[in-house]
Amino acid sequence: MENKRSIGNEKENLAALYFSQTGYDIVEKNFYSRFGEIDLIVKKEDTLVFAEVKYRKNESRGNPLEAVNVRKQKRICRAALYYLSRHHLSVDTPCRFDVVAITGDEITHIENAFEFSI
């Protein structure tokens, strides 16, 4: 039986493949900071996208989108701010926060899933 981390890595790789097939460049996977982790950082044209990937085998434990609650959003935003600072990017850099929900084999990509908030 696979552990949660290996399943998570597999689904994050699936989301990265989805992004690359839809015209995004993969910038970084699993960016860690003391504020939290960002699963994928991708870029399309001038926009930097901080993406959270959530997986559920089925919806018996809820929709994966529901797992990206306000607390999680704030952690991602703080980590994104740190990413910008660490890479000497302006806070005016066009960016957004997306969520990729994977239920079984179905991928749902929500662009601008939430606004920046700390």
Query: How confident is the prediction for the chain on average, in pLDDT?
Result: 90
For the chain, the structural domain boundaries read 4-114
The confidence score (pLDDT) of residue 39 equals: 96
Tokens at residue 22, please?
């839809």
**Which residues lie below 8 Å from residue 85, measured CB to CB, with a gap of 6+?**
none
Domain spanning 4-114: CATH 3.40.1350.10: yes
Q: Which long-range contacts (CB under 8 A, 24 or more apart) does 107-112 make?
A: 107/14, 107/15, 107/18, 108/65, 109/18, 109/22, 110/65
The confidence score (pLDDT) of residue 62 equals: 66
Residue written as token pair 């005016």? 92
- 3-state SS class at 5: helix
**Which residues lie below 8 Å from residue 14, measured CB to CB, with a gap of 6+?**
102, 107
Is pLDDT larger for residue 1 or for residue 112?
112
Q: What is the pLDDT of residues 30-87, one digit of tens each?
A: 999 999 999 999 999 999 999 999 988 766 676 767 778 899 999 999 999 999 999 9
The Cα 108–Cα 94 span in angstroms is 23
Q: What is the pLDDT of residues 91-108, one digit of tens each?
A: 899 999 999 999 888 899
Instruction: State the pTM of this model.
Output: 0.90
